[in-house]
Amino acid sequence: MESSAIEQRLHFGNMEYGCKHYRRRCMIRAPCCNEIYSCRHCHNETTSMQSHLYRHDLVRQDVKQVVCSVCDTEQPVAQVCTNCGVRMGEYFCDICKFFDDDTGKQQFHCDECGICRVGGQENFFHCDKCGSCYSVTLRGNHSCVENSMRHHCPICYEYLFDSMKDTSVMKCGHTMHLECYREMINRDKFCCPICSKSVIDMTREWKRIDEEIEATVMPEDYRFGYFVMTAMTQPKFTFTLLDKNVVTVVHIIPEQSLRLFFLNDQILVVLEKNVATVNLEHYLIPHQH
């Protein structure tokens, strides 16, 4: 074959095969039970429904054989099918035996973590003390907790280190899923479930909320307003106005249209309408340490 034909063949079937977890052009033979599955999550979901004795997780690094989805040939793990010449994954990690055609996820392998992660190498750094990759926004900007990510989410009990969901790092350095964290905040619980420290670090969230506010175009009368209060000494707050849309903030009526977010010693109050007054006393942090 000419080099352009070989090149073309590599991309054949790209994004057309896979399971609900990954787009990829191969299945894996589970090293543990010798069965064929689309991916390790498919394996784990299936075995978790079996009897207690049979329940087990697949160790990704142990996968030895894959089956090409285009030509059905079983073969040792490699990026390109030895029989039909397609790339079984546009992204391929030889350590994790991991294939994914959807490179938009910006997969990368972290040597220290020993697994592949998503979100772009340039957006993460590996914190040796916490023992995991964290967003660069947290570099020199978080409390380190030894092996912080090597435990289960205190809300849903899923193991955090290799969870597919986003994780939030609290001011105390403890971690939980971002969605579990949001759920907790929605239930008006502002303490870390592990150490009970109250104020929560939202560095990553913070930026997103900023963007969300910027990106939201609302009719003049309903434009979001927001301001930051700094917790100086309880029970008094001083606060800084960040947005001209907020009317005089001394007393504002608490409404459902009001959302609170926490950043270090500050509280971000997002108003979904220009409401007249908020009673700040109402929002005292329950247990400050």
Which residues of the chain form contacts with Zn ion (CB under 5 A)? 19, 21, 30, 32-33, 38-39, 41-42, 68, 70-71, 81, 83-84, 93, 95-96, 109-110, 112-113, 116, 126-127, 129-130, 133, 144, 153, 155-156, 172, 174, 177, 180, 192, 194-195
Residue with tokens 């007054």: 277
Residue with tokens 């707050």: 237
Residue 194 vs 275, nearer CB to Zn ion: 194
SS3 42: helix
Backbone angles phi, psi at 278, to 5 degrees: -120, 135
**Closest distance of CB 11 from Zn ion, Å:** 13
Cβ within 8 Å of residue 18, ≥6 positions away: 24, 25, 38, 39, 69, 101
**Closest distance of CB 105 from Zn ion, Å:** 13
Q: Round to whole Å and give the CA distance between 46 and 201.
A: 37
Residue 124 vs 224, nearer CB to Zn ion: 124
Residue 24 vs 267, nearer CB to Zn ion: 24
**Closest distance of CB 179 from Zn ion, Å:** 7
Residue 29 vs 273, nearer CB to Zn ion: 29
Residue 117 vs 278, nearer CB to Zn ion: 117
**Closest distance of CB 272 from Zn ion, Å:** 27
Edge-to-edge strands of the sheet including 236-241?
236-241, 225-233, 266-271, 258-263
**Closest distance of CB 269 from Zn ion, Å:** 23
Residue 21 vs 273, nearer CB to Zn ion: 21
**Closest distance of CB 171 from Zn ion, Å:** 8
Dump strand ranges (E) for the chain.
26-29, 36-37, 65-68, 74-76, 91-93, 98-100, 108-110, 115-117, 124-127, 132-135, 167-169, 175-177, 225-233, 236-241, 258-263, 266-271
